[in-house]
Amino acid sequence: MHHPVWDIFCRVIDNHGDLGVCWRLSVDLASRGQRVRLWVDKPAALAWMAPHGCAGVEVFAWNDDTAFAPPGDVWVEAFGCEIAPSFIAASAVSTWASEPKGLKTPVWINLEYLSAEKHVERLHTLPSPVLAGPGAGLTKHFFYPGFTERTGGLLREADLLARQQAFDRAAWLAQHGIPWRGERFISLFCYEPPGLAALLTQLAHAPQPTCLLVTDGRAAQAVRAWVAAQADSDFYKQNGRQPMQIVLKQLSFFHLPLLPQTEFDHLLWACDLNLVRGEDSLVRAIWAGQPFAWQIYPQHDNAHHDKLQAFLDSVQAPADLQDFHRVYNGITHHALPPLNLPAWHKAAQAARARLLAQTDLCSQLLAFVAQRRGE
């Protein structure tokens, strides 16, 4: 049986989330016997995101001067990045209009952003004829990841549950030099959440000690800024240490380096609450099965307000967790609700179980491509 060659195109917009999703998809496809070529305009982040690469996945730099290999059987333009016209032109598209015997047109997929909004079910797999340019005569199909059976599902590799069951939390913490004295662990992967300062203040004054495992980049910068603002506090003066080492009452910090994707999964599995952002880390937090809160990417027209509410409804988040999300994301401005981890854990486990019962994104893509190719 001929395994189709997949060409996946990705543009890194700002925070590597697009690349994170594309890399996970590429690896998942390769694990199922597919050949994948990932075309990305800024591949440098893969040095830490996937330092060992993946058998079956070739990575190519994609820029205006790229000389493309003969195009493959499946084209995926991720998140509306638009496949390079020179790539399409190199495909002798004009010869496909009549589909000579034995020559299949490529399956062209526009992989969209993840959303729980209602329109996703309506638009999923809809065709979009290409009317102009070198691809005229071909047809794209929209493919929407999502949270219901009538969407494309979520990325979930076949060995995920087995890896989770084998995970040793204490060993992982020790491997990373993270001391464990019985305190709860909270991971922080964020932009600059409007409710972060209120949360850190709440944790510092909570009855239970907390260690915040802070990811590198914008999360670390946000925490440093908050700690620096506490410079007048006695705790800051007494410690006299660097912001990421300081202990403020019941709150301590541990600064993590940039983590490969597999290690990021381990971080989420090790924590009692995961504060995540964007798309890729949200899905990984769902699979972790621990309580989580999501910082949705803010949009200037506040469209993210409805997107966040649609997601909270889809996972049946408890009322106080919904309220926490709204304050954390700056949608409402009253006091941040206290953490309610037992109830949030129950809700997270229930949402995870419902989503595990659905067909994953990679399986659905493979089935869709096979159908389009008449296999």
Active site amino acids: 18, 279
Q: Cα(306)–Cα(279) distance, rounded to whole angstroms? A: 16
Secondary structure E strands in 215-305: 247-248, 251-255, 273-277, 292-295
Q: Cα(321)–Cα(140) distance, rounded to whole angstroms? A: 39
User: In which order are the strands placed within the sheet that holds 57-61?
Assistant: 57-61, 35-40, 5-10, 74-78, 107-111, 139-143, 127-129
CA angle 296, 83, 126 (to 5 degrees): 70
Amino acid at 142: F
Q: Which two three-digit tokens encode residue 140? A: 């794209």
> Most distant CA pair in the chain: distance in Å?
79
DSSP state of 41: S
Surface-to-core class of residue 185, CB atoms within 10 Å of its CB (0-12 exposed, 13-18 middle, 19+ buried): buried
Q: Which two three-digit tokens encode residue 29? A: 């496809």
Which strand (E) or helix (H) includes residue 275?
strand 273-277
